Every structure is written in C-alpha cells, then in structure tokens.
Structure 1
Amino acid sequence: MFGVKLTADRVHAVVTDLRAQIVAARDEPISDHRPEAVCHQIKGLLDELAGSGQTLAGAGVTLGGDARSAAPLGGERPVDSAYLGWRQVPLKSLLERALGVPCVVKNDVAALGHQHHWFGAARGLRDFALVSIGAGIGYALVVHDHLVTAAESDLGMFAHLVLNAGGPMCGEGHRGCASAYLASESIVTAARQGLRRPVTYEEVMRLAAEGDRVCRVVVAEAADALGRLIAHVATFSMVKTVIVAGEGVELARVAKDGLDRALSANRRGQAGSVDVLIEADTFREWARGGAVVAIQSFVTGSD
C-alpha cells in the first residue's frame, strides 16, 4: 500500500505491505501548492518508491483539515485544508486520476487513530482515545472498535478547550486553551520570550531536560495542561487508555512526572486511573496511517 501525509510544506510518503510494515519511505518539500501539482508530485514519489515491478492495491492520503473521502449519501466530499490553503478540492478524484489506483482521503489524526488501533499501541483495545500534539492539537476517539466520526468544526474545538481561563493567549485570541499551552509554536514563543533569543521546539525540550530554568518552567506548564487535557478526555469519554502522539510528543517524555501529577489531581487523586501511552510518531508514522486506511478500505471495501 501507498501512504502519504501532507503537511503545510512537505509530502511524506511510504510504501507498506498489508501488515503496514514500511518497506520504503521518502519525503520532500512541496514545490507547488496547487492541488493538481501536489497530486503530480505524489505520483512521482509513488513511481520512485514502488519501483517498476511492484503493483499497489491502493493509496491513502492524510492531511489536516476536513478530509473524508465519501459524502454521507455517496459521491465525493471536497477537502478543506487551511494548512495547504485548499478549499473545496475534489482531492480523491484528482488523486485517482494521477495515481491510477483506488485512493482514500482521511483527516490525519483520524488515520493515526486507525493505525494505532489496527497495528499499533491500541491493537486489541475496543476503546481508547488519541491526543496528538505538535503544530496542531488533534483528537480521535475509538469506542466499541469504531472510530467516532465528527465534523472538522467539532474536532477543531478540541484544540481550543479552555484549561485555564487566565492562561496564555493562542493565535485565535483564546486564553488558556489547549493550543495556547501545547501547540509547538506556543511553546517556542513562551521559551523565546524568556530566553530572549530564537529557539526551536527540539531545543526547548533539550534545555528543559538539562535543567534550564526558563525551559523547565515552559515545559512544566505545558505538561500540566496536557495532564488536565487527558483527564478531561478520559472523564468525558470514559475510556481507560489515552495515547499521546504527534511530532511534539517529546513534551510528554521530558515532563512525564508533571503530566502524571496533573492527571491524577484532575481525576480526584486517583493515580493510575488512566493508562497513558506515549508514542513517538514521526511524520513517517503519520504517512503510515495513510497506508493503514488504504488497507482498511481494501479489506472492508469501504472508505
């Protein structure tokens, strides 16, 4: 299977077997953001990774935004993606025309949830939630072995769930929401103000682990917010397992003790009432999520 994850500026692609094991991978910058041009670029990666002697059964492409292949009554649902500047793009049709294989288009967090459910940390679990942190804040919920579907507008509200009404402000003007504490840019901005110099997300995490005062405070506040967010997710959904994933997941590793304290405090002091699994999902793993939804479509006959 062929899996793709689109970010605002790169195409991440993998080829997998039917057990979702990656056999080839590559990523490259998006050279032209027009939908047809991106599809053409994806075709070039497919040709390069699959080789001349290999036949693929299908492809799955994931991206942040309202990305569902099928409309409720059949047909195709156009894709909206703020990251790519796309509005009402018939991406599934464009991809199938370019690639010559059946294609599935999914929201990237939903695809990552499917990946963990079928082949990853949640394999064998009937109920779990996934919280992704990084450039954006995402959420997926699996109940009774089925991913709960939701409109992008509803999922977008999760990133702006208020955790502390007196907290920092996010880019949309909300105080103390999940994005204000946990989005990579929010963490970098807070550290940059304290350090009075440019800094990267990876550097903030490293400096916090090494004991830098500014970065330790920034990371501790973010970890406390993440613990509260996980507590809310577990309480509202009543799941017992929450996977923390995404490119910003190092936060959960560096400040795991603070995360656990906040989680316990917001679960009435019941330590261990929620099993938190921390998964270091690179963009290659996000692309693997695309391959997994293509496998699901191939196996079940639905998208």
Structure 2
Amino acid sequence: MTSILDTRAATPAPGLAHCVHPAGALLGEGTLWSPREQVLYWVDILGRRLHRFRPATGARSSWAFDEEISTLAERANAPGLIVTLRRGFALFDPGADAAPRYLHRPEAGLPGNRFNDGKCDAQGRFWAGTMDFDCVAPSGALYRYDPDGRCTRHDEGFAVTNGPTWSADGRTLYFNDTINSRIYAYDFEAGAGTLSNKRLWLAFAPGDGVPDGMTTDAAGRLWISHWGGACVSCHDPVTARELCRVPLPTSHVTNCAFGGADMRTLFISTARTGLTPEQLAGQPLAGGLFAVAMDSPGLPAGLFGG
C-alpha cells in the first residue's frame, strides 16, 4: 500500500521538456535506459534504426537494420539486447559487428502484421505486442517470450498495441488498445507469468489523442504518451485520475522512460509520420528525443533473463 499512499500524497512537478536529439525520426519508439551503460536507447521503427544517446557527453550513435525494429530490453546474463524486429524476437549486440539473430517468429501466417511496443517483467520475460501495419485490422496480439524460448499468446484482437507497464507491486499489468483509445488492466501472476481479470482502466477523452507507450515511476504512477495529444500525462495507478502533464512541442508523442544517473529524467520519443507538410513546418522538432527533469525517480527497466 505504500506506493498507492505516496501517489495520492504528492503531485509530481515536472520541469520543461527540451530536445536532446533532433533526429527527425519517422516513428520514434522503444525508449530504454541502460544503467549498465548510462545511455538511453531508442528506435525509429519506420526508419529501421536503433539510436543511443549518452547524456553525460551528448554523444549519439545509431545502427541501421534491414527491417523494422520496434522495442528492446537489456540482457541480464550476457552483453547486448533482446529486440523485436518486424517478424519476431531477436538478439542484437550493439558492441559486436554482427547482424541480429532471430529467436522466434510467432506470426508467420500474418504477413500484414509487425511487432510494436514491449518490455521485460521483473522475472526476466519479454512481453511485446503486434499490430496491423496499416493500423486497421484487429489482428494484433500480446505475447510473452521466456528465456527458455517458450512463446505464449495472452490476448488478441488489437489493431495497434502499446505498452505494457506494471504496477509498482508487480501485481497489475497495463496494456494499450491504442486505436480505441483504451488502456486495460490485468491481474498479473508474477510466478507463472499469467494474466486474468481484464478490465477497462482508462479511456482517453475525444480530442486528447490516443494512448501510446508508457512507463511506471517509483511511486507507482503511470506516465502515458499521447499520440496526437502533444503530451505525456501522469496517472494514479488505482483510480486512473490524471495528476499532471508534460507538454511537448510536437503532437505525435510515442514513448517514455525514466533514466539518468539518479533516474529522475523522463526521456520521451516522438514521430514525424502522420503529420502533414503544414504541421511539420510548425513542428520542426517532430521525431526528436526529448528529456525533462522530474522531482521523483522512475523504476529501472526489467532485464531479459536469456
């Protein structure tokens, strides 16, 4: 109960967001802070690139891929990353001169689908969702990929998936049905890695964009990116009540992750795709990576156990 009480007692006070990498990404996503390297990884899905930003020096690196790369997590027991490419789960080591190595392709019979957002749970399992490449057909699903190579489908019927993230106590998983502007909560059984009791947790109001990537802070609050809403909003994990917003100077806000040496910086990715030439002229930083100082820390990302 501590995290819930803390959440209700203090409203977070974010600073002003500023652009730290004006990358012009077509579809920025997959923000991940690496405590091991003290860097922020993120991707441009449609640009087929993995980016790395080192806040201490401002250094930037990037890697090009032959297909879409959408999300990633660090490995606990080996160097490198687990990533989702268009067709499935793969391993990739930015420090090695080698191509990614596919582990599993769960949707070989759905050529119109691709992977989108995902994260590791605290037990080292990688959760990721698929979506219709055209964002229309409800052909997407939520998968769990285990370190031993097992892959399990847990829910389906989504045109676009985003998230997931977990409550601070690890007993609830939140997952986004982006096209329908809904965020669902599931009871999460950590030992078995199973979901139950799906229920609507939050529906976005018309004109407020749709829910994209999200993360959880150390007090248990959820921070949700608004595609088409030009902000990241912060919510109570139980009531879903909005506590504050971080405004961005571009409308398509896609993902967010806490990082920095003290975990008090919120990094935010954005996108250029879907904006008209007139909108892009008024949003020169669209597709950039932003950072905002926070008065409370986030949680470290889960590591993949394989």
TM-score where L is the length of structure 1: 0.29
Report the structure, 1 or 2, having the larger strand content: 2
